[in-house]
Structure 1
Amino acid sequence: MASQPAHLVHGMGTAMEAPTWPAITADEANAVVARFPAAGRLTGLHWHSPRPFSAATLAHTTQGAFLLKRHHRSVRTVEGLTEEHVFIAHLAGAGVSVPEVMATAEGVTAVASGAWSYELHRAAPGADLYRDRLSWTPFASLAHAHAAGVTLATLHEAARSFTAPARRSQPLVASFTILPAADPIAAAEAYVASRPALVAFLESKPWRRQLASLFETLGQGLTPLLADQTPLWTHNDWHPSNLLWASDGSVRTVFDFGLADRTSAVHDIATAIERTAVRWLDLGQGTADIADPAAALALLAGYATVAPLGPADVAAVVRLLQLVHLEFALSEIDYFTAVVEDPASAELAWGGYLIGHAEWFQSAPGQNFLRALQAGASPQ
């Protein structure tokens, strides 16, 4: 009998790697699915996700198909997952197409077993066109970028009535405490001080000076622009592989709210552009001209069909875009140091991701990209 191919996941670059978290087994899935009565009885596992920070599988049961996702408890507790699920339920109630989160007989939507936390979602409608693509994969077309902008604005409109506070401190959440602060260096120091492994990683680096230089160069005028933005729960991981697609090219379903938190609409828009309109995996591969302003403008145009953006909103997006990755990058470093002890990936997250992406925006291609966005997105 031929052996099954090894399960691999996305790495920090373009190569597939052995997973940090082992694939979910059939016996394991059977025990977890049995705790969710409406899910029926497990009949088989049909796909394992290549996403690297957790393990997930498409489980088929007597009641249909479900996505079973497993997290280490140091990354997500039951309480941490419940924060996401409450937001998803609110969006569903407001008419946003999101996966149904399954509940146990006791009415809870996440369960713990040993070192793991589990959640189960009913498979949602739509084609998973980008299922095996890397998170920083660009949209396949400007039409997809436009459609994603429409849906992002629709999600934001639905989220305006969701008043939960910001999430508790935990790895791999795109929180928003540093850039809006009157003193971002003091806010960064507080963020780092609350994470001992991050303190240890940064102690040999001139990180305060490096961040201060970025704030001075790229963050001028950002604080007052953000002060005028209404706090809002947002998705914070808006890229095409977190969307399911209809046959007409529109977005059918939004999923993966693992990075969701209370930020602002412009933070989510800037994150969406940063993750889909700049080919970061090509940075350092022979060309610095890695941006696609047309894709970014298509996303903004789609957004504006639902929620028009004023001049101050556009200015905030363009200014924030250069640093919007900062807090999640620090969260990634905390994950790589505190949870999985992967110093090489932590170094890449600091030098290649946090510092490298910000420095690209200071280059001629980066500045050209920002000017194109400002000119093309500003209300006429």
Structure 2
Amino acid sequence: MSAPYTHGMGTARKESDWPDIKDTELEEVLHHFPRAGTLQAILWRSPRPFSAAATIKTDHGMLFVKRHGHALRTPLNLEEEHGLIRHLKQQDIPVASLLETASGKTMVLHNGWTYEVHDIASGLDLYQDRTSWTPFLNTGHAYAAGTMLARVHKALKHYNASPRSTHLLVSDDRLIRQQDPLQALGADLQLRPGLASFLHERNWKHDIQTHLLAPYHANAHAILHAAPRLWTHGDWHASNLLWSAPGSNGTVSSVLDFGLASKSSALFDLATAIERNLISWLDMENGVAPTANLDQLEALLAGYSSIAPLSTADIKALASILPLVHADFALSEIDYFSGLLNDRQNAALAYDTYLLGHADWFATPQGQRLIRHLHILGSKAP
């Protein structure tokens, strides 16, 4: 069984950047995990773009295996992620258990790839073929997602691990919370040659200053700089959650995929959830102005507030940071496409449409409608 496509930057499927996981390599990898058993079949291959992953059957049961290019995720990079997952499990957040090797490791380096193996998470994978930037099926799911996100943030309040040791494909606010993001990015480029090579072809200082910083940074910086630092999920989308039921009474049964997780703040992660789920960015492909789903926005925030009440200042802060919440990750994607894959087309798309275009949208009538609505909701908050 093979998945010749993955989710792309838009609505179209694209050829996978990473080769399929093969039976022969799985047999060798599973040998390192005593609890895994012997491979019987590969049942499903994930269409997610940044790694190769599959659901498999062994003589011990069902498992989920994920394989990363070593240049993207080293064992150290994964250990940081796995430490977060273990902590959440100890705090009763529903995450899948990691299998361990005979020496107690939760990953294996094999033939230049890094592998991790998980138990199958509990729940219905209702969104497995839906990409980021597509909405929840209903407002009930939006509410439930907000509730679980607040639970995750409360569980991470005293998790004090160091930030991620990689800048590739992680979602954080490391650059935009700086007083001078352009200076910080310039210093970064000495250690990020793929990103440096791409930006060298662009008038990047002028572009970032004009599209992102001049309109939005003054207000956002003060908020992000003052927000308590917190490890966060970084990609809170419906497709990274499993569900108890498809209807509006469905709740979150499991939380998946901490690959983009890093250190930021609860407000930043909540703003990321709004950006990932509630704005129809993919409409831009067809020349249609994206719109925000305000009913689901209200439900998401209500669910969050049921666990961690949001104040007037909190909700208005979301309006200030939303136009910039994607910036660090967009630069990380450019670095990934340009430096790791030598994919200049997708790097250009990440720069023009994602980094600059998403920020520009907030100045449009539809973007301003979302910002106004957040201010209205903020005025009603305690």
TM-score by length of structure 1 reads 0.96
Identity of aligned residues (%): 43
Trace 1:229-308 onto structure 2 (pairs within 5 A): 229-247=227-245, 248-308=249-309
Once superposed, which parts of structure 1, at least 4 consecutive aligned residues long, lie more than 6 Å away? none
Aligned to 2:321: 320
Aligned to 2:42: 45
Q: Return the alpha-carbon distance in structure 1 between the equivalents of residues 230 and 108 of structure 2.
A: 28
SS at match of 1:221: helix
Aligned to 1:182: 179
Residue by residue, what CA displacement relative to the aligned partner does 1:228-263 show, whole Å, maximum 9, x if unpaired?
A: 210000000000000000134000100100000010
Q: Return the alpha-carbon distance in structure 2 between the equivalents of residues 5 and 77 of structure 1.
A: 25
Q: Return the alpha-carbon distance in structure 2 between the equivalents of residues 20 and 284 of structure 1.
A: 22
SS at match of 1:37: coil
1:93 matched to 2:90? The reply is yes
Code of the aligned partner of 2:216: L
**How many angstroms does 1:208 deviate by?**
0.8
1:63 matched to 2:64? The reply is no
Aligned to 1:335: 336
**How many angstroms does 1:185 deviate by?**
2.0
CA contact (8 A) 2:77 2:166 kept: no
Q: How many residues align?
A: 377
Which stretches in structure 1 are left out of the alignment for 5+ residues?
none
1:81 matched to 2:81? The reply is no
CA contact (8 A) 1:266 1:313 kept: yes
Q: Return the alpha-carbon distance in structure 1 between the equivalents of residues 339 and 141 of structure 2.
A: 37
SS at match of 1:334: helix
CA contact (8 A) 2:319 2:374 kept: yes
**How many angstroms does 1:15 deviate by?**
1.2
Q: Return the alpha-carbon distance in structure 2 between the equivalents of residues 133 and 288 of structure 1.
A: 20
Q: Return the alpha-carbon distance in structure 2 between the equivalents of residues 236 and 5 of structure 1.
A: 28
Q: Return the alpha-carbon distance in structure 1 between the equivalents of residues 187 and 236 of structure 2.
A: 27
Aligned to 1:140: 137
CA contact (8 A) 1:75 1:170 kept: no
Code of the aligned partner of 1:232: L
Q: Return the alpha-carbon distance in structure 1 between the equivalents of residues 314 and 60 of structure 2.
A: 45
Residue by residue, what CA displacement relative to the aligned partner does 1:153-180 show, whole Å, maximum 9, x if unpaired?
A: 0000000111001111241111321111
CA contact (8 A) 1:102 1:109 kept: yes
Deviates more, 1:261-270 or 1:239-248: 239-248
**How many angstroms does 1:298 deviate by?**
1.1
Code of the aligned partner of 2:360: E
Q: Return the alpha-carbon distance in structure 1 between the equivalents of residues 225 and 303 of structure 2.
A: 25
Aligned to 2:157: 160
CA contact (8 A) 2:3 2:45 kept: no
TM-score by length of structure 2 reads 0.96
Measured on the aligned residues, the alpha-carbon RMSD in Å equals: 1.3
CA contact (8 A) 1:72 1:116 kept: yes
Which stretches in structure 2 are left out of the alignment for 5+ residues?
none
**How many angstroms does 1:377 deviate by?**
4.1
Code of the aligned partner of 2:307: V
1:14 matched to 2:15? The reply is no
Q: Return the alpha-carbon distance in structure 2 between the equivalents of residues 188 and 375 of structure 1.
A: 35
